[in-house]
């Protein structure tokens, strides 16, 4: 059992020792079973638009990538997909897109959320309907409130890195760490179950940076974490920067395990990026403490345009469910799977 002092955590994150990684995962697995059991909850992910007003230096759907065909799924299509997820027992969905704070886009999104909520509540004997997570970037307080009033109750906004210098290095000057922080606090204030996270293995990122990220997650008292390896995209300028110091895959597993050990009752995602970078990503991510998986439901003819990084790997939801079971975990179908932490912090 490792002592979770700052020095130990930094050493664990920095070492290449496979033995240390194994020990950490074993400890996290026990902690996970004890605190959140063996359930793995699903979030059907609908990537409804790749139009984006941002120019994040790492991202394949950044505004200045002019070689990308842009799409936006129409309202009817999104609602149909959400209802299909509901019928299959995936009782939470996540609507994700590139960033647009345009009033018409947010109004339309609010209508979609409200309609999904209404239809799914009608078909649910418990009248709860679908749990709706949003992940559409930085918006104003009023816009977040509007979407909350429409029926969304979870929000994911990654801080990407909580270190001001590293954040600046991976974003254009127009994007600010402070405004992300303000957004996260607004979301919590409104009442959302709030999730954040970072990319792991970024150029210039060190074990100390990641330790600070873990402290940040605790200080912000987050309910959910979505973290994944940084994977370069050829059309994004950061792919030309090559001073990577930490192995993205094993370091992500360590960050998942440390997060579980430090924050027993939160929900932690085994991300698509983790599954894409290594064939064992799902299994190892779950063992390291993740209890959420987000099967991609975006239609096959458009999902290739939501190309955040190279070799993005999609598995069918049914395949993911089989794999979750084969790894010894229980898929949490027909339920929302809210983070226990949310209840605990509100009591």
Q: Which residues bind ligand SAH (CB under 6 A)?
A: 58-59, 96, 98-99, 135-137, 157-158, 160, 199, 228, 230-231, 233, 273, 308-309
Q: Closer CB to ligand SAH, residue 36 or residue 256?
A: 256
36 or 95: CB nearest ligand SAH: 95
CB 218 within 8 A of CB 262: yes
φ/ψ of 253, rounded to 5, equals -60, -40
> For ligand SAH, which is the closer residue by CB, 151 or 248?
248
Q: How would you label 100-131 residue by residue, b for 16+ Cβ within 10 Å and e otherwise? A: beeeebbeebbebbbbbbebbeeeeeeeebbb
CB of 231 to ligand SAH, least distance (A): 4
Nearest to 160 by CA among 129, 202, 122, 119: 202
By beta-carbon distance, which residue lies closest to ligand SAH? 137
Measured in whole angstroms, the distance separating CA 60 from the mean position of its chain's CA atoms is 17
CB of 283 to ligand SAH, least distance (A): 20
Q: Find the shortest distance in angstroms from Cβ 157 to ligand SAH.
A: 5
Residue 340 C-beta: closest distance to ligand SAH, Å:
24
Q: How far apart are CA 111 and CA 276, in angstroms?
A: 33
For ligand SAH, the closer of residues 92 and 135 by Cβ is 135
Task: Report the nearest approach of ligand SAH to the CB of residue 135 (Å).
Answer: 5
Nearer of residues 42 and 200 to ligand SAH, judged by Cβ: 200
Closest to ligand SAH by CB, 29 or 160: 160
Distance, in Å, from the CA atom of 42 to the CA atom of 91, rounded to the nearest integer, reads: 8
Closest CB 5 distance from ligand SAH, rounded Å: 28
Minimum Å distance from CB 273 to ligand SAH? Answer: 5
Q: What are the residue ranges of helices labelled H in the chain?
A: 6-14, 18-36, 75-88, 103-122, 141-150, 164-170, 177-190, 207-219, 248-262, 272-277, 281-287, 300-303, 317-326, 340-346
Q: Which is nearer to ligand SAH, 33 or 240 (CB)?
A: 240
Closer by beta carbon to ligand SAH, 27 or else 298? 298
Contact between 290 and 269 under an 8 Å Cβ cutoff? The reply is yes
Residues 195 and 225: beta-carbon distance below 8 Å: yes
Q: Is 39 helix (H, G, I), strand (E, B) or coil?
A: strand
Would the CA dihedral through 206, 6, 213, 257 be positive or negative? positive
Q: For the stretch 254-290, what's the b/e string if a residue is b when 16 or more beta carbons lie within 10 angstroms of its beta carbon? A: bbbbbbbbebbebbbbbbbbbbbbbeebbbbbbbbbb
Q: In whole angstroms, how close is the CB of 99 to ligand SAH at the nearest point? A: 4
Q: What tokens were used for 213? A: 């990220």
């Amino acid at each position: 059992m490792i002592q979770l002092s700052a020095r130990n955590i930094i050493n664990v994150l920095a070492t290449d020792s496979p033995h240390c990684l194994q020990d950490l995962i074993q400890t996290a697995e026990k902690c996970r079973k004890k605190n959140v059991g063996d359930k793995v909850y699903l979030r059907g992910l609908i990537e409804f638009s790749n139009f984006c007003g941002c120019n994040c230096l790492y991202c394949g759907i950044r505004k200045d990538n002019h070689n990308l065909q842009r799409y936006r799924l129409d309202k009817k299509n999104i609602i149909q997909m959400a209802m299909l997820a509901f019928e299959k027992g995936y009782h939470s969905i996540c609507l994700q897109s590139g960033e647009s704070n345009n009033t018409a886009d947010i109004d339309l999104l609010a209508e979609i959320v409200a309609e999904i909520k209404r239809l799914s509540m009608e078909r649910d004997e418990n009248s709860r309907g679908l749990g709706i997570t949003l992940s559409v970037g930085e918006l104003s307080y009023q816009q977040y409130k509007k979407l909350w009033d429409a029926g969304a109750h979870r929000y994911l906004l990654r801080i990407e890195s909580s270190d001001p210098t590293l954040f600046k290095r991976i974003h254009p000057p127009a994007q600010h760490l402070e405004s992300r922080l303000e957004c996260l606090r607004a979301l919590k204030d409104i009442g959302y179950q709030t999730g954040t996270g970072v990319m792991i293995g970024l150029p210039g990122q060190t074990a100390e940076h990641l330790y600070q990220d873990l402290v940040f997650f605790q200080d912000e008292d987050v309910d959910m974490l979505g973290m994944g390896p940084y994977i370069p995209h050829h059309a994004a300028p950061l792919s030309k920067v090559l001073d990577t110091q930490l192995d993205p895959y094993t370091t992500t597993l360590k960050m998942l395990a440390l997060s579980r050990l430090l924050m027993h009752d939160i929900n932690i995602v085994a991300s698509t990026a983790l599954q894409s970078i290594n064939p064992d990503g799902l299994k190892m991510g779950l063992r390291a403490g993740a209890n959420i998986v987000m099967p991609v439901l975006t239609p096959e003819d458009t999902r290739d345009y939501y190309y955040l990084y190279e070799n993005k790997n999609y598995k069918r939801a049914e395949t993911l469910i089989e794999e979750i079971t084969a790894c010894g975990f229980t898929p949490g179908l027909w339920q929302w799977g809210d983070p226990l932490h949310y209840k605990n912090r509100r009591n």
